[in-house]
Structure 1
Amino acid sequence: MVPVPRTAARLLTAVAALAAVATLAGCTSAPGRPLEDYAGEPKGVEAPASSAGGASWVAWLDDGAKVAIVLYGSSSCPPKVANISATAADSIKATLAPAPGGICTRDYVPHTTVFTTPESIGKTGEVNVVLPDSTLTLPARQG
């Protein structure tokens, strides 16, 4: 067995410690990742009139602790939001998940993705949710 110099041994120990921390961090839910993802509209929330005809919309859930983003598309290949991030106190950027491959049905139904509201989002004014092809507006939070 070849002796390992002290500096290399310390480096190996540090790398092992960082790997352990990264592994443990993977056990918690990452900020901006979906809490829930399901077919249909959010439970207990009435769709706004502007969503008639299948327009995307957003809503506060749990007194503003969560944000639900509703997108419309195929039930077999639903559009999904992969993550969100606050870009300002009044703006959230939503990144869509890649479209699944394969054949999709030609129906047009709602699909909801729910996120924890980013901590830096203000509570007193409207909040814009910026999607790649549109911007949706949340009213000032209640609660």
Structure 2
Amino acid sequence: MATSVRLRRAGLAAAALASVFLLAACAPPKSPAENYSGAPVSDHEGSGDEGGADTGEPQAGWVGEGGQLSVTLWGSSTCPLVGEHISVVEPAATGNRVAIDLKEYPANQVCTMDLVPHTTVFWTPMDVTTTKPLVVEVQGTEITVPIK
């Protein structure tokens, strides 16, 4: 009888461990879902700060129902400003704020001096909400994305 109790406990422990791995796999990745040259296209248009369209200012907005967040930055076409990682600075309960880290280029990289938009789309982190304004920190700027 002691053997069957040990087997049941081992089985429950294995099931618990498998559950942890499955739940971790469901979390959205912190790396970009998509990158493309240009401003948000019609099926990617966000509902955030649209002020940067012609001015070169950073812009951000929700994509679709808020499952993704687009960030558009202006820079060189040969060395575009590309979002590489999104992190939650303040979860929804304490502020609803994220930070975007940018791809870094080698110091000796030759870049053109033009100014073009580049959009990075991230999966919305689980610790933020679309029911409160979201502050996006990127490139030393804060962009407020309104409620979805």
**Is TM-score (shorter-chain normalized) higher than 0.5?**
yes
Answer whether contact 2:39 2:53 (CA < 8 A) is retained. Answer: no
Please give the alpha-carbon distance, in whole angstroms, between the structure 1 residues aligned to 2:28 and 2:52: 32
2:33 equivalent in structure 1? 35
2:127 equivalent in structure 1? 120
Query: Aligned-pair distance for 1:104?
Result: 1.1
Matches within 5 A, 1:1-143: 31-44=29-42, 45=45, 48-87=50-89, 88-89=91-92, 90-100=96-106, 101-141=108-148
User: What is the alpha-carbon root mean square deviation over aligned residues?
Assistant: 2.3
Answer whether contact 2:62 2:145 (CA < 8 A) is retained. Answer: yes
Please give the alpha-carbon distance, in whole angstroms, between the structure 2 residues aligned to 1:116 and 1:77: 23
Please give the alpha-carbon distance, in whole angstroms, between the structure 2 residues aligned to 1:30 and 1:119: 7
Structure 2, unaligned runs of 5 or more: 1-25
Query: Aligned-pair distance for 1:30?
Result: 6.7
Q: Which runs of 4+ in 1 moved over 3 A?
A: 49-52
Cα 1:43–1:104, aligned 2, differ >3 Å: closer, same or farther? same
Answer whether contact 1:126 1:139 (CA < 8 A) is retained. Answer: yes
The number of residues matched between the two structures is 115
Q: Secondary structure at the match of 1:94?
A: strand
Identity score, percent: 32
Answer whether contact 1:79 1:99 (CA < 8 A) is retained. Answer: no
| TM-score using structure 1 length | 0.72
Please give the alpha-carbon distance, in whole angstroms, between the structure 1 residues aligned to 2:139 and 2:51: 22
Structure 1, unaligned runs of 5 or more: 1-27
Answer whether contact 1:94 1:129 (CA < 8 A) is retained. Answer: yes
Answer whether contact 2:61 2:70 (CA < 8 A) is retained. Answer: yes
Query: Aligned-pair distance for 1:65?
Result: 0.6
Q: Secondary structure at the match of 2:72?
A: strand
| TM-score using structure 2 length | 0.70
